[in-house]
């Protein structure tokens, strides 16, 4: 599955985090959500591309945490709040 951003009115970048204005809402994103959003908006919208971005931003996950599980959870959360949308088939 590939992900792309939706219509965001404005983005305020502040280091490791950002604030986005989408619809009628202003949302402050966590470091993890910001890294994933930046990866998708930068054209790295595959699950694997976002996983690499999360690993770069946050380092290696703990041994009992699967990077792809965290990535899919983050992408799902971003889609639920309307910042990204998925298309295609496959993982994600």
Report the pLDDT value the prediction gives residue 89, as an integer from 0 to 100: 60
% of the chain residues with pLDDT over 90: 62
For 21, the enclosing helix (H) or strand (E) is strand 17-22
Summarize pLDDT for 4-35 with one digit per residue, the tens: 888 788 889 888 999 999 888 899 999 999 99
Rounded to a whole number of angstroms, the distance between the first and last alpha carbons of the chain is 6
% of the chain residues with pLDDT over 70: 96
59: left (phi over 0), alpha (psi -120 to 50) or beta: left
Q: Name the pTM for this structure.
A: 0.85
**How far, in Å, CA of 81 to CA of 83, rounded?**
6
Among the residues of the chain, which ranges form H helices? 31-41, 47-58, 67-80
């Amino acid at each position: 599955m590939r992900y792309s951003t939706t219509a965001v009115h404005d983005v305020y970048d502040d280091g490791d985090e950002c604030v986005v204005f989408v619809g009628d809402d202003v949302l402050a994103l966590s470091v993890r959500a910001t890294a994933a959003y930046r990866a998708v908006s930068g054209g790295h919208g595959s699950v694997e591309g976002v996983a690499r971005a999360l690993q770069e931003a946050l380092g290696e996950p703990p041994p009992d945490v699967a990077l792809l599980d965290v990535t899919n959870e983050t992408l799902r959360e971003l889609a639920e709040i309307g910042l990204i949308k998925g298309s295609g088939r496959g993982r994600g």
